[in-house]
A and B are shown apart, each in its own frame.
Chain A
């Protein structure tokens, strides 16, 4: 095995102390399980950690000077990073610079996943938009046909008959579903309950079931308009 495939000493030390993230710990554990060398190193780190805990004392450390040293190192790191960035900026986006990203099937997989996500989003949006795009247009038509804004619901329903002209209400043993423009939406789901459904040619479907706990009957109505 190539040396580069081994986790770094830092990672093994962190793993020994239980200080890695979940995902990193998962990948490190998988490697260590199969690698006797790393198992040995990990055991050493764990032994060392156990000894420190047993000693129950920390070596004498000047914390102030350590802090100053760490801050200085961080500044140096930032400045070094800036130098590297400037050097990279002068380079074109050539193949070697992007090779790690494009190499292998990773990019293809990433693109495939994005495509799946985009398609799922499109169809989820369409399923309700199909119903709803129609609804808004028809709602405007129906609203225009109303004699008064404050008309009774019966009057509203009469004015709104056109609103449902392309919509289909479906009653099946799974529930009541609304379909329109290629989209569909389950309005009522029986979820295993025995339900009696009645369809009125006037544009209404009723589903009736007994409440399991209270033992009372509930009737849900949905309307085409």
Chain B
């Protein structure tokens, strides 16, 4: 044909074949990569609330939750929403849910907490569950995921729940911090007016840009990389930041250092209060060779090991390794600082650093804001100063 060029037609024919092969390959690859199924609520999820729970389940939605089979594992992407009703007589201030796909292995268990809420009796609230878990494909029959209530904290700091995850302690600490921060911002409003409160909020939002480290956490104090293993260990001592009001003071502490990895921290403490203590947590700062300080993590007392009478010493030991990096580069550890961040007394009362102690120390620019401070700053950013003042006046 005069208008059909032979070589061009051959090229097109070849292109057609390539397109067909490519499309077929793509379809096969997608089929292999994503054997996804939407999770059915009735058969996939079991939501367990104790019979005498002050919270009742009104409804739940599975959203875009799905299960993806990959080899011998089932990856569960949960995007659920649980609507709960406060059937008790007190205001709910916090709740924790335990989410389990398999009990004993990494990635099989998670939890979702909702602190800093105020739910009056009879009112409802929603807890979002956005988490990914993994479990064996061939695990025994039954629901894929179990959602359990681990605890509810009320406005009088009383608690209900099995407390498997020590939710009572965590929720009580968060509520104590919330009361502290609301009082601080109310005082700022009274003393310095709206301008003073606005300045405090802007300062809080500015601290969101504080430097953060990427942290790898592994058990048994084992090295998490070949590079760390090649560098000989040395034992480095903690320096301590003493907060005057802390009922417990750190005495001395060490950790094994290999380059950017710190292992098996141990810290000796003394109870300077007149009351027995059952839990202490030490905040852990690291300093790099350029002198920058970062909040690396925390060293808590190990489970059930601690009942520290007044005036007595004890050691906090954790057999873990933390490896630090920033923007993909290892952060060589030049120094470490510890400070007491939380104390729980045997009677259930808790201590957290005061705002004055935080503001007058380097902690202000290093520590993450409390959940309540984060929430109040979010209200200010999204709804303005009037909404923030109204929120503070609710309490």
Give the complex CA separation of A170 and B107 in angstroms.
12
User: Which A residues touch B126, using CB under 8 A?
Assistant: 214
A126 to chain B: which residues have CB within 8 Å? Answer: 71
**A159-217, CB < 8 A from B:** 159-161, 163-173, 178-180, 185-188, 194, 196-203, 205, 208, 210-211, 214-217
Contact status B375-A217, CB under 8 Å: yes
One of A12-20, A47-55, A84-92, A108-116 contacting the partner: A108-116
Q: How far is the CB of A156 from chain B (nearest CB, A)?
A: 6
B107 touches A178 (CB 8 A): yes
What is the CA–CA distance of A171 and B322 in the complex, to the nearest angstrom?
11
B112 adjacent to chain A (CB < 8 Å) = yes
Are A121 and B33 in contact, CB atoms less than 8 angstroms apart? yes
A36 CA to B2 CA in the complex, in Å?
A: 9
A96 within 8 A of B: no
CB-CB under 8 A for A163 and B24, given A170-B215, A185-B132: no
- CB of B105 within 8 Å of the partner chain: yes
Contact of B378 among A169, A171, A215 (CB under 8 A): A215
A29 to chain B, nearest CB (A): 12
Taken residue by residue from 274 to 309, chain B's Cβ proximity to chain A (1 for < 8 Å, 0 otherwise) reads as 000000000010000000000111111011100000
Q: Nearest chain B CB to A185's CB is how many angstroms away? A: 6
Interface size class of B (residues with CB under 8 A): 35 or more
B residues less than 8 Å from A120 (CB atoms): 29, 32-33
- Give the size category of A's interface with B: 35 or more
Q: A1-B4, A197-B212 are contacts. A116–B29 as well, Cβ < 8 Å?
A: yes
Q: A164-B219, A219-B371, A224-B219 are in contact. Are A1 and B5 (CB under 8 A)?
A: yes
How far does the alpha carbon of A203 sit from the alpha carbon of B112 in the complex, in Å?
A: 16
Report Cα–Cα, A166/B217, bound state, in Å. Answer: 10
**Bound state CA distance, A220 and B304, in angstroms?**
24
Q: How far is the CB of A36 from chain B (nearest CB, A)?
A: 4
Q: Are B8 and A205 in contact (CB under 8 A)?
A: no
Q: Please, how many angstroms separate the alpha-carbon atoms of A128 and B297 in the complex?
A: 27
Q: Give chain A residues whose Cβ lies under 8 Å from the Cβ of B298.
A: 198-201
Answer whether residue A106 sits at the interface, using C-beta atoms and an 8 A cutoff: yes
Q: Which of A1-48 contact B (CB under 8 A)?
A: 1-3, 5-6, 23, 27, 30-31, 34-37
B106–A225 contact, CB under 8 A? yes
- What separation, in Å, do the CA atoms of A1 and B103 have in the docked complex? 69
Specify which chain A residues have a CB less than 8 angstroms from the CB of B218 in the assembled complex: 165-169, 224
Q: Which residue of B lies closest to A37 (CB)?
A: B1
Which single residue of chain A is at the shortest CB-CB distance from B317?
A201
Please tell me which one of the listed residues A109, A135, A194, A220 contacts residue B112 in the complex, with CB atoms under 8 A apart.
Answer: A220
Q: Does A147 touch B at the CB level, under 8 Å?
A: no
* CA of A198 to CA of B298, assembled, Å: 8
User: When the two chains form the complex, which single residue of B106, B127, B296, B372 contacts A199, counting CB atoms closer than 8 Å?
Assistant: B296
CA distance A198 to B212 in the complex (A): 10
B105 touches A163 (CB 8 A): yes
Q: Across the interface, do A216 and B117 meet the contact criterion of CB distance under 8 Å?
A: yes
B322 and A199 within 8 A (CB): yes
Interface digits, B1-27 against A, CB 8 Å rule (1 contact, 0 not)?
111111011001110111011101100
- CB-CB under 8 A from B304, the residues of chain A are 154
**Cβ of B110 and Cβ of A167 under 8 Å apart?**
no
Q: Is A73 part of the contact surface with B, judged by Cβ < 8 Å?
A: no
Q: Which residue in chain B gives the minimum CB-CB distance to A35?
A: B4
Residues of A close to B105: CB separation below 8 A: 132, 134-136, 138-139, 160, 163-164, 225
**Looking across the interface, which residue of chain B has its beta carbon closest to that of A115?**
B25
Cα of A71 to Cα of B128 in the assembled complex, Å: 63
Specify the chain B residue showing the minimal Cβ separation from A129. Answer: B71
On chain B, the residues within 8 Å of A199 by CB distance are 215, 217, 296-298, 322
The listed residue (B2, B22, B284) touching A201 by CB distance below 8 A is: B284
Least CB separation from B213: chain A residue? A171
CA–CA, A99 and B379, complex, Å:
72
Residue in B2, B29, B368 whose beta carbon sits within 8 Å of that of A196 in the complex: B368
> Which residues of B have CB within 8 Å of A138?
104-105
Which of A30, A117, A129, A208 is B32 in contact with, Cβ under 8 Å?
Answer: A117
A223 proximity list for chain B (CB < 8 A):
106, 109-110
> CA of A109 to CA of B18 in the docked complex: distance in angstroms?
7
A171 and B374: CB pair below 8 A? no
Q: Is the CB of B132 within 8 A of A196?
A: no
B103 proximity list for chain A (CB < 8 A):
139, 153, 156, 160
The CA-CA distance from A164 to B112 in the complex, in Å, is 21
- B222 interface residue per 8 A CB criterion: yes
Of the candidates B12, B131, B219, B297, the one whose C-beta lies within 8 Å of that of A220 is: B131
A205 to B130, CA, bound (A): 15
Q: Is A124 in contact with chain B by the CB < 8 A criterion?
A: yes
Chain A residue nearest to B5 (CB atoms) is A1
* Bound Cα distance A135, B74 (Å): 12
- Known: A153-B164, A167-B218; 6 extra A-B contacts, CB below 8 A, are A31-B9, A127-B70, A136-B136, A169-B218, A215-B379, A219-B113
A-B contacts, 6 listed (Cβ < 8 Å) = A35-B3, A113-B22, A117-B28, A154-B303, A164-B106, A210-B374
Which 5 residue pairs across A and B have the least CB separation, nearest first?
A1-B4, A135-B105, A113-B25, A153-B164, A125-B71
